[in-house]
Amino acid sequence: MPKTSTGETPYSLVYGTNTVIPVEVGEPSLRYSYESGPNNDESRLQDLDEVKEQRDMAHVRMVAQKQQVKRYYNKKTKVRPLKVGDYVLKAKTQAAKDPQEGKLGTIWNGPYKITAAANKGAFQLEIMEGKLLQNNWNVAHLKYFYF
């Protein structure tokens, strides 16, 4: 089966030709009869000459598909511009949830104040009384707190 990203079968990218399944060899088919005989040698040499170009085109299609997926994903993402001094809510972990609250319990703790930015979207938080939390928290687990 041809891959969606490349438009080619993996076999054809490696060996430069499409596969012939054993059923097609035993049963006479138009495809097998066209590929067998003296035409096969010429078409095989031509396929081998074109395999480099075929691989390059598959690579171009694969890169284009990855860029399309990236654009689609980035269009749907929400930018969270948090900075030092903002107040945020922190998502509760599964272990921190109270089983007595059930599924309607709160899923956010806080508010917390951002005291420092660690690296690549991680922040150091402190509670309202000024005590620092032990770990840094990723922006994926934080939500801006509106007063």
Share of the chain above pLDDT 90, in %: 33
DSSP code at position 122? E
Tell me the average pLDDT across 30-50.
Answer: 67
* Inter-residue contact 90 to 137 (CB < 8 Å): yes
DSSP code at position 58? H
Nearest Cα neighbor of 47 from 87, 1, 6, 11 is 11
More confident call, 35 vs 103: 103
Other beta carbons less than 10 A from residue 37's beta carbon: 8
* pLDDT at residue 94 is higher than 90: no
* pLDDT at residue 21 is higher than 80: no
Other beta carbons less than 10 A from residue 8's beta carbon: 18
The reported pLDDT for the residue numbered 46 is 74
* pLDDT at residue 119 is higher than 90: no
- Average pLDDT over the chain, rounded to an integer: 81
pLDDT in tens, 42-80: 777 777 777 788 888 888 988 999 999 999 988 887 776
Predicted TM-score (pTM) of this structure: 0.48
| Helix count and strand count (H, E) for the chain | 4, 5
